[in-house]
Amino acid sequence: MNILIVCANGLSSSIFANKIREYVQNNSIENVKVGSCSIERIEKYYGRADVIFIAPHAQYLKDTISDHGAKVFVIDAQEYLREERISELFDAISGRKSESKKKKTVTALSEISGNRYLSSIRSTFMKLIPVSLTGSLASLLQLLVSGAGFDGTAARYFCAGMDAVYQITIGIMGFYFLLFYERRIELCHGYRITLRTIAVLSCFAMLSGTNISNYGINGLWMGILTVIISDRILLKAEKYKISGNVSLLFTVMLFAVISYSFYILTGESSVNAWVSAQIQTVLGRYVGDNIVSFAFMQLLINFLWMIGLHGASIVSPIVTPLYESLALENLSRVRAGMEPVHIISSSFQRCYLSGGAGSLLSFTVLACLFSKSERMKKIGRESIIPVLFSVNETVLFGIPIVLNPLFAIPLLLITPLLAVLTWFVMRIGLVPIPNGTVIPFVCLPFVYGILQGSWKISVWELVCNVIAGVLWYPFFKAQDRILKKNEDENKHI
């Protein structure tokens, strides 16, 4: 029997898969293989997995997983990452345990986050990390060499080379996004058609014109719209049994008419530039560089975690295009010798958040050093390394913090409070604004601040961890007392 554990990013599921392997080995269970993956890579395992277990924080994605002959279960939040509850997973497989009824909240979130257009945005940005990371590092190296005062021929060639790397990565980010996004939508339909991809790229080119900047980060919004509109047209054509080549030709001609009509009416050669400007203006005013809306997003993400769902995976497809574009705009300004201007961007959150949702690095340190409960101390010691890299599910579900009324207040409010404080110190100039370098979320705390352009950001990360630790402490002690009491009672049974 092949068992597959699936979570949002593939990190906590790999930890739990190792625990299950140990359980299988210790109990001499034969013919069982256990694997793990992220929800984005599950297609590779269709037809190979006999049983698929979905992590509780990714249960909203269950309806998007076609079983392909496998049994599909959602792991209960009280069982996830708990080795003493692994036997209940095998009870579910054998039918001795029935799966709990799905809540209406989860059903609604399944429809939102399972939407192929939103889920594909999330997947596309994950695939673009190598591209944006390469461009950011090239820009960082160029700034270091030029800022150090090197003026020789080798230095000039090096800077020119790094600039070229930036231009063919972040400089045409919109093009890469469109390509990966279109491919992902095709995969959602179960096929890949090269001619369709070429047609959609042609539509995007007609809307963008010849200005290369329209193929950069400013082209994200037009890329999303182009793929969605094209897909809806082609699906309608398929419904009415219109030939694929005919529908593709019609789609290209429609975009050509739109582009030409726009030029005749406005004199502007790029629909892309106009649409991007309008969207950026509206969203920038109400959602973008706005601490109130950002703090609300943090509160929403934490609320979803509180009820056992992966808040970032649900919210990020909606806000990531905007925050990513603001970060890359900051990076472009830094490259041009100017100061970054957008405090709120995709680079902002990690300036105060260490250890993932809830800023749990400080909580994990408390569990390691001050816990009297053996269970709490064991979880803290097992989790400290993953939490340093922002993988905190072992703490969230092992303590547990999710679905635990005792931790509702700190889980909900600590990170919005830290966000407001961080915005304030950057607004008054005490801490510099991040330079917008794209850095993976698993980057170590304090190293992050240096890469974002200043040791002051690293110092502020430390300050935020101390604040979070102080705020977590009374709730940590209360839970520690509860667990210690339960352990003492069990010893006398």
Summarize the confidence of residues 217-246 as an average pLDDT.
87
Domain check: are 313 and 453 in the same one? Answer: yes
Establish if 392 belongs to a structural domain. Answer: yes
Compute the radius of gyration of the chain from its Cα atoms.
Answer: 25
Asked whether 421 and 463 are in contact (CB, 8 A), the reply is: no
In 217-373, which ranges are continuous DSSP H helix? 220-239, 244-266, 271-286, 291-306, 311-335, 361-370
Give yes or no for residue 251 having a pLDDT over 80. yes
Q: Which of 255, 277, 299 is the last residue of a domain?
A: 277
Averaged pLDDT, 202-230: 87
Q: Is the pLDDT of residue 372 over 80?
A: yes
How many structural domains compose the chain?
A: 3
* Residue 304 counted as domain residue: yes
The SS3 assignment for 168 reads coil
Residues 331 and 439: their CA atoms lie apart, in Å, by: 12
Distance CA 307, CA 77 (A): 9
Q: At 133, list the tokens.
A: 């990371």
190 belongs to a structural domain: yes
Q: What is the pTM of this model?
A: 0.75
Residues 124 and 100 in one domain: no
Angle between helical axes of 153-167 and 129-147 (0-180°, round to 10): 150
Q: Once rounded to an integer, what is the mean pLDDT over residues 367-394? A: 89
Give the mean pLDDT of 402-426. 93
Give 202-215 pLDDT, tens digit per residue. 999 999 888 888 88
Residues 268 and 375 in one domain: no
- Arithmetic mean of pLDDT, 350-362: 91
pLDDT score for 253? 93
- CATH (domain of 12): 3.40.50.2300
The answer to whether residue 411 sits within a structural domain is yes
If asked whether residues 262 and 301 sit together in one domain, one would say: no
Q: Do residue 131 and residue 108 come from a single domain?
A: no
* Confidence band for 463, pLDDT divided at 50, 70 and 90: very high
Across residues 289-308, what is the average pLDDT? 87
Q: Is residue 282 part of a domain?
A: no
Among 242, 277, 312, identify where a domain stops.
277
As given in the structure block, the two tokens for residue 280 are 């950026």
Same domain, 119 and 106: no
Q: Does one domain contain both 106 and 119?
A: no
Mean pLDDT, the chain, whole residue set: 83
The answer to whether residue 195 sits within a structural domain is yes
Q: What is the pLDDT, as a whole number, of residue 38? A: 80
The answer to whether residues 182 and 249 belong to one domain is yes
Range of the domain at 222: 115-277
Predicted local distance difference test score (pLDDT) of residue 468: 96
- Of 244, 277, 310, the one marking the end of a domain is 277
Q: Looking at the structure, do residues 200 and 231 belong to the same domain, yes or no?
A: yes
Query: Taking a C-beta distance cutoff of 8 angstroms, is the pair 398, 387 a contact?
Result: no
Range with the largest mean pLDDT of 20-29, 188-197, 240-249, 445-454: 445-454
For residue 445, count other CB atoms closer than 10 A to its CB.
Answer: 21
pLDDT digits (tens, 9 = 90+) for 65-124: 655 667 888 887 666 766 666 777 777 776 655 555 555 555 555 555 556 787 778 778
Q: Is residue 462 part of a domain?
A: yes
Residues 166 and 74 occupy one common structural domain? no
pLDDT confidence tier of residue 428, bands split at 50, 70 and 90 = very high
Residues 418 and 348 in one domain: yes
**Across 279-298, average pLDDT:** 77
Is the residue at 151 inside a domain?
yes
Same domain, 65 and 95: yes
Contacts of 54 (CB under 8 A, 6+ apart): 6, 7, 61, 62, 65, 72, 73, 74, 75
Give me the amino acid identity at 437: T
Q: Round to whole Å and give the CA distance between 42 and 95.
A: 24
